[in-house]
Amino acid sequence: MEITLVVLAVLLAAAGLGLVVLFRARDSAVRAQHAAERELDVAREKLSEAENRRGDFETLRRESLQAAQAAMHKTALDLSSKLLEDHKRENAETKKESEVRVQQASQAFVKQVDELAKTVAVLHGQV
């Protein structure tokens, strides 16, 4: 019977040791699970931040495009206004030059008509 008690004691000690090993394994598994959950939370947070940055980037890209289009539109309007002003100025200058040439031509024509009239009068007086 003593042998049976010794065997039972050894079996009980082995079972206790097995339980200790199992508890340690379970504790290790729980710690590993908690660590994995923390890593998963960190990864999810990083993914969320990346998605937010992507949204910010898209907003910034859209705003930059709108600003560039507005600047291009303003530049086009400024250029168009300048070209229109230049055209008006050149037309005014051309008109003034034409008026001066017409006036000079008219004066020359009137002078020639006067001279012709005088010549005709002189010729008429000789006839």
Integer CA distances (angstroms), 27 to 58, 102, 105, 110, in order? 46, 111, 115, 123
pLDDT of residue 113: 87
pLDDT of residue 75: 96
pLDDT of residue 69: 96
What's the pTM?
A: 0.48
10-residue stretch averages of pLDDT, the chain, 127 residues long: 81 84 91 95 93 89 95 96 95 93 91 88 78
pLDDT of residue 118: 87
H-state helical runs in the chain: 2-126
pLDDT of residue 127: 66
Round to whole Å and give the CA distance between 89 and 78: 16
pLDDT of residue 95: 93
pLDDT of residue 67: 96
